[in-house]
Amino acid sequence: MPAPASVPPAAAVGWQPPAPAATWQAPPVESYEDEDDDYARSPRAYGRIVKIAVLVLVILGLASAVYWQRDSIASMVAGLRSATPAPKPRDVTTQPAGRPKIADRIGAEGDRSQSAANAPAAAVAQKVVLYDEDANDPQGKRYVGSALWRTETVSPGPGMAPELAIRADVEIPERRLRMTWSLRRNTDKALPASHTIEIMFTIPADFAEGGIGNVPGVLMKQNEQARGVPLAGLAVKVTNGYFLIGLSAVDIDVQRNVQLLKERDWFDIPVVYTSGKRAILAIEKGTPGSRAFEEAFRAWGQ
């Protein structure tokens, strides 16, 4: 049975947070089996495992001591960000102007604004930045990637009606790292969570940091360099590279989480590698992501 993911406080490896933070111990390195494929396969059919993780969430949902670990997550992120300088503007990251082109295809000049407003979000990649902690470099290492946002219909479980979900497919080419992030409303009355977030990593068999040991939670922020605000929730490691986060079902937390998810434009996903090193994935919503969130929350009546 998986245990709730604990959030290690900031480590003293040259990355000092702007506010005091306690020391932390890196999680033990997990052994990974050799694989013949170029990439380690992402988990696909974990129905039983997910059920077990859900039961763990039910049992631990009321445990206030480990319930929502906001301060520790924020300290971890602050420790990584404190020495990371703001990136210089790069010409290659400018986004194409999608609205006029969509309008030209759909309608005449007189219907341009209405067509653009009603058109589905284009599959335009949004910015992703991986910040890797490096003991030999106080500023760490920065890798740029992309995210494709969309909505999809998923089955919550046997005998349950299909639900709309938000999905982002993330890729960091230089690190050969891929991640699938998905958010959906929880319709299981036995689970004390308003929404669930699934995070699945695909990494190469020879990944330098061994694997993904822990994902303590998710933070929301206004822009790439802003300090993130943790969502109230509980993270569980289901299996290697697969993490499940149940968002709090307490009314005040639900209102706050929904507001953050709808209004903030960037995500921070703290990561602890099995090597003990830490990292942050900063993901931009952009216009496609914002539209996906609007569509899903409208369908959920939120």
Is 158 contained in some domain?
A: yes
Q: What is the pTM of this model?
A: 0.64
Is 172 contained in some domain?
A: yes
Burial class (CB in 10 A: 0-12, 13-18, 19+), 23: exposed
Is 179 contained in some domain?
A: yes
Host domain of residue 166: 69-86+123-299
Dist CA 209 CA 30 (whole Å): 11
Is-contact 287 301, C-beta < 8 A?
Answer: no
Q: Report the pLDDT value the prediction gives residue 12, as an integer from 0 to 100.
A: 33
Q: Report the pLDDT value the prediction gives residue 196, as an integer from 0 to 100.
A: 96
Is 280 contained in some domain?
A: yes
Q: Report the pLDDT value the prediction gives residue 36, as an integer from 0 to 100.
A: 42
Q: Report the pLDDT value the prediction gives residue 49, as an integer from 0 to 100.
A: 54
Give the residue among 54, 85, 119, 76 at the shortest CA–CA distance from 216. 76
- To which residue do tokens 């890729």 refer? 171
Q: Report the pLDDT value the prediction gives residue 227, as an integer from 0 to 100.
A: 92
Dist CA 113 CA 121 (whole Å): 15
Burial class (CB in 10 A: 0-12, 13-18, 19+), 230: buried
Is 144 contained in some domain?
A: yes
Is 42 contained in some domain?
A: no
Written as six digits, the tokens of 49 are 């495992």
pLDDT tens for the chain, 302 residues: list them: 444 444 443 333 334 333 333 333 433 434 334 444 444 444 444 555 555 554 545 445 544 433 444 455 555 555 555 544 444 444 434 444 444 443 343 344 444 444 444 444 457 999 999 999 988 888 789 999 999 999 999 987 787 888 999 999 999 999 999 999 999 999 888 889 999 999 999 999 999 999 999 999 999 999 998 999 999 999 999 999 999 999 999 999 999 999 999 999 999 999 999 999 999 999 999 999 999 999 999 999 99
Burial pattern 56-67, b for ≥16 Cβ within 10 A else e, equals bbeebbeeeeeb
Is 1 contained in some domain?
A: no
Q: Which residues contact 101 (CB under 8 A, 6 or more apart)?
A: none
Amino acid at the residue 206: D
The residues with which 39 forms a beta bridge, in sequence order, are 204
Is 175 contained in some domain?
A: yes
Dist CA 214 CA 250 (whole Å): 25
Structural domain count, the chain: 1
Q: Report the pLDDT value the prediction gives residue 135, as an integer from 0 to 100.
A: 83
Q: Report the pLDDT value the prediction gives residue 101, as an integer from 0 to 100.
A: 42
Dist CA 151 CA 183 (whole Å): 10
By three-state DSSP, how is residue 116 classified? helix
